[in-house]
Structure 1
Amino acid sequence: MVFAHDTEMSLQAAVTLVNSEDVDEDTLATVEDLDAFFEEFEYTGRRDGDQAELDAVRRLRPRLRTLLSAERDDAVVIVNEMLAAERAVPRLVRHDAYDWHLHAVENEAPLATRIIVETAMAMIDVIRADEMSRLALCADDDCNGVVLDLSRNRSRRFCSTSCGNRNAVAAYRARQSAGA
């Protein structure tokens, strides 16, 4: 584990949210999609479960993309602005199966607010550890997805298995045609 569990979950959630806005298929198009996202990333607290909440979460994607693809010093400015705007007050909490970890906004805050604050808090760990290289853009020339590389050897280059497979097939075909 590179970071604490809550940091990794928040980063993975942010990357998934940003990458849900794909030109071919938006994977966060319905309230049911948001329900699945909420469950997958083990969010706690308030859930409105309506179109307004979905719209608010979808509107976060450009802000999160900017943060996740920023240079370190620029990310600091963005994180500070996000935390100040939401009046984040870090505190230790323990719930469900997780030991003490940080929350910085009340459970009754809107989901979009909690996502922004939790992502900003996770980025504090990334910035302080000088691990911005763990975030990158997908190496597929036709993709603008964000990659979160939590591997030990920092070898992840593609945002999804689809992008990785597509590039592996293209490389194989290029080798085959070069040898022919």
Structure 2
Amino acid sequence: MHFNPYGGPAALVAADLVNAGSASELLDGMVGNGMAIQLLTDDEATRIADWAHHLRPVFAARPEDRPELVNALLAEAACRPYITSHDGKPPHLHYSAEDAGPVGRVRAYTAGGLAHLVCEAPDRLGICGREGCEVAYVDTSRNGRRRFCSTRCATRVHVADHRARQVSA
């Protein structure tokens, strides 16, 4: 599935932030999805990790409950459209001013991305369906039927279900 720049990469950043366990994983998730943030201070990493705790409920919520949660994120992030050009790129849309700093940019970017995705395809966010796995994901599959964070988790569930059927048969 193809997303607009905010709905796709920004939502993927949001999922990576929710799943990150360290400052380096936070940065890897942002850079890996195209954000131009090279370094985080300890304070910035802590503040972004705190923001990730606000993002998690969106992934866990039912699709019909997501708009209200994302509206709260948008208000908290103080998102507002802003056209910018930086790093030699042509003019493009941001939801924070260039001087917002990494924390402000991450908050606005992820809130804006989740807003676009919730409006376009609210059922494409989730938490892994394997019991005990709490990994958030954005469903980028063609058919939009993803229930697990990875093939590994899906296989574990399917093998366990198969074994349970074999025992009861």
Tell me which interval the TM-score lies in, with the shorter structure as reference length. 0.7 to 0.9
Higher helix share: 2
CA apart distance, 1:95: 5.2
- The residue that corresponds to 2:124 in the other structure is 134
- The residue that corresponds to 1:41 in the other structure is 33
Q: Percent identity?
A: 28
Give the aligned residue type for 2:36: T
Note closer, same or farther for the CA distance 1:5–1:85 as it changes in structure 2 (3 Å cut).
closer
- Please give the alpha-carbon distance, in whole angstroms, between the structure 1 residues aligned to 2:85 and 2:27: 23
Give the aligned residue type for 1:90: P
TM-score (norm 2): 0.80
Number of corresponding residues? 169
1:159 paired to 2:149? yes
- The residue that corresponds to 1:146 in the other structure is 136
Structure-to-structure mapping, 1:61-140, within 5 angstroms:
61-71=52-62, 74-94=65-85, 101-129=92-120, 131-140=121-130
For residue 92 of structure 1, give the secondary structure of its aligned residue in structure 2: strand
Greater Cα shift, 170-179 or 148-157: 170-179
Q: CA RMSD in A?
A: 2.8
Give the aligned residue type for 1:36: D
Give CA deviations for 1:83-133 in whole Å, capped at 9, x if unaligned.
Answer: 33343220234556976542011233232322221122112222332x211
TM-score (norm 1): 0.76
Greater Cα shift, 91-100 or 73-82: 91-100
- Please give the alpha-carbon distance, in whole angstroms, between the structure 1 residues aligned to 2:91 and 2:168: 56
Give the aligned residue type for 2:45: L
- Please give the alpha-carbon distance, in whole angstroms, between the structure 2 residues aligned to 1:90 and 1:57: 21
Give CA deviations for 1:29-76 in whole Å, capped at 9, x if unaligned.
Answer: 2x433442332122125x553211211111112200123333456433
Note closer, same or farther for the CA distance 1:95–1:64 as it changes in structure 2 (3 Å cut).
same
In 2, are the aligned partners of 1:6 and 1:101 still within 8 Å (CA)? Answer: no
In 2, are the aligned partners of 1:147 and 1:157 still within 8 Å (CA)? Answer: no
In 2, are the aligned partners of 1:134 and 1:150 still within 8 Å (CA)? Answer: yes
For residue 102 of structure 1, give the secondary structure of its aligned residue in structure 2: strand
CA apart distance, 1:14: 0.6
In 1, are the aligned partners of 2:125 and 2:137 still within 8 Å (CA)? Answer: yes
Give the aligned residue type for 1:146: A
CA apart distance, 1:172: 3.9
Q: Where does structure 1 lack aligned partners over 5 or more consecutive residues?
A: 21-27
